[in-house]
Amino acid sequence: MNLDYAAPVREALANDQPVVALETTVITHGMEYPHNRDVSLAMIDAIGETGACAAILAIVDGRVTVGLDDELLETFATAERDSIAKCSRRDLPGIVGLGQSGSLTVSGTAMVAHAAGIDLFATGGIGGVHRGHPFDVSADLTELGRTPVAVVCAGAKSILDLELTLEVLETQGVPVVGFGTDKLPAFYTRSSDFAVPTVARDVAEAAAIVRAWRELDTGNGMLITVPVPEDSALSEADAEAAIVKAVAEADANSIVGNAVTPYVLGRIVELTDGRSLTANKALLVNNAGVAAAIAVESIRS
């Protein structure tokens, strides 16, 4: 893969410094401006504070880009939603071949991060198996089954079927680690009913698991799930009510394919009077800090 590196990222990688990748779909399709820009800058700060380097990944005019500078971040953050395509693995050849710009989902980010030599990345939530649509399985899950990148996230939203999502991850051979929890976090809420197969009590344990995963060289990815910070979590009842309504509206409006997740996320913000946005921002910054701490700790042997 031909890659354009931002200078600080190239330097960090050349010096074996810890680098944490960040996705761009959360910027273009996950949140409105200026929240998307502000949270990205806060994530970059949280990563920098630990001594790691952040790299926002995207396709810019057909170039696979490892590290957006502030100007490009602003361009992506302010772009009209339909002017930048949301890219999972299947979308890359089209966007690159036609010289277009694309934001990367978890699956696209994992692909590009791996090509760039980065094996850790932080985001909010991953895609999964959609509720009521068990054949709508996010490409994120199969990507984790084939690409050795560890994704730090707040679990998956219960707009997804979490039980089926865990089943697919097991089939794909993907370790799912609960960071300080034995239940899969459900994004807006700190917990779900579903147990995770592996628990890391702290950064040291998570780093030990990451080191073992590197040494075992399993060839596939890993999920490290971190509960949303307590003070911004939604109650289960509030989250569930908004989710059920938003998913029903998506169905009623015949929203399909990769438009479902952005639509539902947007509606949940409205239905919770912005409280889901507060939670989303808090968990993104928290996850960036946790990923960076693990990145730093796991390269110390």
Nearest approach, Cβ of residue 253 and ligand PSU (Å): 16
For the four alpha carbons of 276, 151, 260 and 85, in that order, the dihedral sign comes to positive
Nearest approach, Cβ of residue 62 and Mn ion (Å): 25
Q: Decide: is 105 part of the binding site for ligand PSU (CB under 6 A).
A: yes
Residue of 23, 86, 183, 297 marked catalytic: 23
36 binds, among Mn ion, ligand PSU, none (CB under 5 to 8 A by kind): none
Closest among 71, 77, 69 to 33, alpha carbons compared: 77
Q: Is-contact 86 103, C-beta < 8 A?
A: yes
User: Is 270 an active-site residue?
Assistant: no
Neighbours of 41 (CB within 10 A): 16
Nearer to ligand PSU, 50 or 181 (CB): 181
91 binds, among ligand PSU, Mn ion, none (CB under 5 to 8 A by kind): none
Longest CA pairwise span in the chain (Å): 53
Q: Decide: is 111 part of the binding site for ligand PSU (CB under 6 A).
A: no
Instruction: Write the DSSP symbol of residue 172.
Output: T
Q: Give Cα separations from 60 to 41, 72, 143, 252, 259 (angstroms).
A: 19, 9, 22, 35, 21
Q: Is-contact 219 147, C-beta < 8 A?
A: no
Nearest approach, Cβ of residue 211 and ligand PSU (Å): 26
Q: Decide: is 138 part of the binding site for ligand PSU (CB under 6 A).
A: yes
Positions in 122-151 near Mn ion (CB under 5 A): 136
Q: Which of 125, 155, 175, 178 binds ligand PSU (CB under 6 A)?
A: 125
255, burial (CB in 10 Å: exposed 0-12, middle 13-18, buried 19+): middle
Binding mask 25-54 for Mn ion (x = CB under 5 A): ------------------------------
Nearer to ligand PSU, 258 or 286 (CB): 258
75, burial (CB in 10 Å: exposed 0-12, middle 13-18, buried 19+): middle
Total chain residues near Mn ion (CB under 5 A) = 1
Apex 289 CA angle, 267 and 72, nearest 5: 65
Residue of 86, 143, 157, 297 marked catalytic: 157
Part of the chain binding ligand PSU (CB under 6 A), chosen from 24-32, 173-181, 245-253, 287-295: 24-32
Q: Which of 77, 139, 144, 203 binds ligand PSU (CB under 6 A)?
A: 139
Q: Decide: is 161 part of the binding site for ligand PSU (CB under 6 A).
A: no
Part of the chain binding ligand PSU (CB under 6 A), chosen from 37-45, 138-146, 205-213, 245-253: 138-146
User: Is 23 an active-site residue?
Assistant: yes
Closest among 21, 8, 28, 40 to 75, alpha carbons compared: 28
Nearest approach, Cβ of residue 132 and Mn ion (Å): 12
Binding mask 225-264 for ligand PSU (x = CB under 6 A): ---------------------------------x--x---
- DSSP secondary structure of 175-206: -EEEES-SB--BTTBS--S-B-SEEE-SHHHH
Distance from C-alpha of 251 to C-alpha of 273, rounded to nearest angstrom? 22
> Which ranges constitute the DSSP H helices of the chain?
7-14, 25-28, 35-49, 70-78, 92-97, 106-116, 139-144, 162-171, 203-216, 236-252, 260-271, 275-299
Catalytic center residues: 23, 157
Which residues of this chain interact with ligand PSU, rule CB under 6 A? 23, 25-26, 29-30, 105-106, 124-127, 138-140, 157, 258, 261, 265
